[in-house]
Chains A and B, each alone.
Chain A
Amino acid sequence: MGQNGAGKTTTIKLLSGLSTPAKGQIFVEGMDLSSESGKIKQILGLVPQDSGFYDERTALSHMVYYGRLKCLSKKESLEQSRVLLDQVGLGNEMFKKVGYFSHGMKTRLGIAQALLNDPKVLILDEPTNGLDPVGIRQIRQILRECNNEGITIFLSSHNLLEIQEICTHVGILNKGKLIAESTIEKIRHLESNGVITIGVYNLSYEMISLIENMEFVVKTELKAEHTLEIFVNSRTDVKPEINRLIVESGGHVFKLIENSLSLEDAFFDATGIKL
C-alpha cells in the first residue's frame, strides 16, 4: 500500500516483467526474474490496472488467446476458459464482445485470464479501483476463493480499508521505498499498539509532560482543550497507571477510552505524513 506515486504500479511492473530494473534482483518462487523470466511468466497471473482488452473480441476469444500464450493447447485453453469465466461470473457473457463490458466485468475478465494455467502467484494492480460496492464485493469474493485454492495473491491498493479486509501481509511504500513490511497485526502495532483517549477537566502542560515521560508512552496528541490522545506501546493494561498519575497530579478524569490502531493510523505513523 502507498500513496499515489509511491511506486506500487512500478513494483508490479517489475515483478511481471513489464519494466526492467535499473539495479537489484527480483526473485519469484526462488527464481531469478532476469535469468528465468520464461518460467516465472508461466506461474504468474497479472491483472493490470487498466483493462487493455481488444474491444472487438469476445471474452472467450481473449481467454483462448491468453491461454495459448501460457502454453496451453487450443482444446485445454477452451476448456479452462469456460470454467474460469463461469467462476468469475461471466459464463453467460463469454460470447459478448468486450467493448460492451462494464468496468467491473472487464476486471473480472482480467482475473479470469490471469488464472489460466493455474498460476501460483496472482498479481493485481489496484483491482477495485473505480468499481461500485457490488463490484468490489464480487472481486473480494473471487480473490478469497483463489486464496483458498492456494494461490498467493499480491495486490496493490491505496484503499486501506480494502487491504485491512482481505490481506494477511502488508508492505508500506513511500516515495519508492519499502518502509515497513509485516503482517497486518504487526503493522498496526508498528510504533504503538494502542491509543488511549483521556478527558481531563484541568489538563495542564505539566501533566502532559509527566505522561510523556512514562515508559510505555510513544507520543501524545492534544485533541481539544480537555482531551489528550496517548499512543502507548505495551502488552499490559496501562490505563490504571495513567489514571493514577493524573489523579496524583491533581487532575479530574472524566473519560478514559482505549482504542486499537487502525491500518490507516499505522500507515500515517509509518510514512510520517501529516495532514
Chain B
Amino acid sequence: MNFSEIQIIEEDEIFKGSKSKYVWLFGGIFVFLCFLAMHYSTYISFLFPISEGIPYSLISYIVVLSIGPFIILITSFDIVSSEIETGSVRYIISKVHRSSFILGKFFFLFLVFISASTGIALISLIYQYSEGNAFQLTNIVLFWIFSSLYLGCFISIFLFISTLSVNNKISFTMSIIFLGILIFFFLQGHDNYLRYLTPFYYGAKNIDLITGFPVGAGYLKVFESLFSMFLYMLVFLSMSLLAIKRRDL
C-alpha cells in the first residue's frame, strides 16, 4: 500500500466523478430528498414526540438510513467492474499496487458521500436556526459522523461486490440481490441474530443517540456503535482487497 498511489487514484476518480452526470444527479437527489423531508417536517412532526422543536437532524438521518443505500448502489456498483470490463484496470494495476487501487476508489466514494452528509447537516443547521430551535450542534455532529460511517459500510459492500464481477450488469444484479438480502435480514426483527450482519441494524441503533447527546453510559453506546460500523467497513474492505488480489485481470 502506498499513500501517494491511493491519492492519485482518488484524485483521478474525483476528476472523472466531477464530470459524471450520474454522480451529480444522484448526489443531488440524495441531498434534495433530505431537504424536502426537512422542509415538510411540520407535517410529520407527530412521528417524533420530542418537546424541543422539530428534530431536523433526526429527520435527515432517517432519510439517509432509508435512501442512502440505494443511492450508493447506483453510484458505486460498477466502480471496479467497469474498469475490468473495459480493460483499463490493466494499465493501472501494471503501475500501482492493487490495494492502492481499491482504497483510492473507496476514499473517492467515501469523500462524495461525506460531502453529501455535510451538505445535509448544513441544511439541517440552517433550518434549526431559521425555525428558532435551540442550537443543536452536537446532534448535527453526531448525525454527520453516524451517517458518514453508515454510508461507508454500504460503499465497502458495493465495492466488494464490484470487485467480484467482470461485467457491470452482473455487478448491478448482485448488488440488488445483496441489498435485498440485507433488508430481509434486518426485517427479521430484534430477536434474530441475522440483524448483526446488516448495517441497517447499526444505523438504526443510532437513532436514539441522534435525538439527544449522550451522557454518562451513553458515551459507551456511541463508541460501541462507531466501532461496530468501522469494523463492518473494515471487513468488507479487506474482502475487496482479498478478492482483487486473487483476480486474474
Residues of chain A having any CB pair with chain B under 8 Å = 13, 16-20, 37-38, 41-42, 44, 46, 48, 50-54, 56, 65-66, 68-71, 113
CB atoms of A69 and B8 under 8 A apart: yes
Interface string of B75-94 (1 = CB under 8 A from A): 00000000100111111111
**Bound CA span A54–B245, Å:** 23
A44 to B91, CA, bound (A): 11
Does the CB pair B94–A16 fall under 8 Å? yes
CB-nearest residue of chain B to A44? B94
A-B contact pairs, 22 of them (CB 8 A): A13-B249, A16-B90, A17-B94, A18-B93, A18-B249, A20-B245, A38-B2, A41-B94, A41-B96, A44-B94, A46-B90, A46-B91, A48-B91, A52-B88, A52-B89, A52-B90, A53-B88, A53-B91, A54-B88, A56-B19, A65-B12, A69-B96
A80 CA / B93 CA spacing, docked (Å): 21
Q: Is the beta-carbon distance between A69 and B92 smaller than 8 angstroms?
A: yes
Which A residues are in CB contact (< 8 Å) with B96? 41, 69
- State A51–B2 Cα separation when bound (angstroms): 26
Chain B neighbourhood of A37, CB < 8 A: 97
User: In the complex, A37→B83 CA distance in Å?
Assistant: 21
Most buried by B among A50, A52, A54, A113: A52
CB-contacts of B168-183 with A (<8 A): none
The A-contacting residues of B in range 224-241, CB under 8 angstroms, are none
B131 at the interface (CB under 8 A from A): no
Binding site for A on B (CB under 8 A): 2, 4-5, 8-9, 12, 16, 19, 83, 86-97, 245-246, 248-249
In the bound complex, do residue A18 and residue B94 qualify as a contact, i.e. CB atoms below 8 Å apart? yes
A2 to B159, CA, bound (A): 37
Q: How far is the CA of A86 from the CA of B138 in the complex (A)?
A: 58
Contacts of A19 in B (CB 8 A): 248-249
Interface of B (DSSP majority class): helix
Tell which of B8, B86, B91, B92 has the most Cβ of chain A within 10 Å: B91
Instruction: Please name all residues of chain A whose beta carbon is closer than 8 Å to the beta carbon of B5 when the two chains form the complex.
Output: 69
Closest-CB distance, A16 to chain B (whole angstroms): 5
Give A41's nearest chain B residue, CB to CB. Answer: B95
Instruction: Tell me, in angstroms, the Cα distance from A48 to B40 when the chains sit together.
Output: 55
A56 to B22, CA, bound (A): 15
Chain B nearest Cβ from A129, distance in angstroms: 14
* B245 pairs with A51, CB closer than 8 A: no
- Provide the residues of chain A in CB contact with B8, threshold 8 Å: 65, 68-69
Chain A residues near B248 (CB-CB < 8 A): 13, 18-20
Q: Residues of B contacting A16 with CB < 8 Å?
A: 90, 94
A65, B13: Cα distance in complex, Å: 11
In the complex the two chains form, is A48's CB within 8 Å of B92's CB? no
Q: A13-B248, A18-B248, A38-B2 are in contact. Are A51 and B94 (CB under 8 A)?
A: no
Contact of A70 among B12, B19, B90, B95 (CB under 8 A): B95
A44 to B5, CA, bound (A): 17
Chain A residues, Cβ within 8 Å of B88: 52-54
Name the CB-closest residue of A to B1: A38
- Minimum CB–CB distance from B128 to chain A (whole Å) comes to 41
- A52 nearest in chain B by CB position: B87
By beta carbon, the residue of chain A nearest B2 is A38
Residue of B whose beta carbon sits closest to that of A18: B249
* Minimal beta-carbon separation of A21 from chain B (angstroms): 11
Q: Which 6 A-B pairs have the closest CB atoms?
A: A52-B87, A46-B94, A52-B88, A69-B95, A48-B90, A18-B249
CA distance A18 to B248 in the complex (A): 6
Among A37, A50, A54: residue with most chain B CB under 10 A = A54
Q: CA separation between A17 and B244, bound complex, in Å? A: 12
Q: With A and B bound together, what is the CA distance between A51 and B86 in angstroms?
A: 8
B9 to chain A: closest residue by CB:
A69
Pick the contact of B86 from A38, A52, A70, A113 — CB < 8 Å?
A52
A181 nearest CB across to chain B (Å): 24
Give the residue among A17, A42, A44, A50 with the most B Cβ atoms within 10 A: A17
CA–CA, A109 and B83, complex, Å = 18
Min CB distance A70 to B, Å, is 5
Q: In the complex, how many angstroms separate the beta carbon of B228 from the nearest chain A beta carbon?
A: 33
The chain A residue sitting closest to B86, CB to CB, is: A52
Q: Is the CB of A113 within 8 A of B246?
A: no
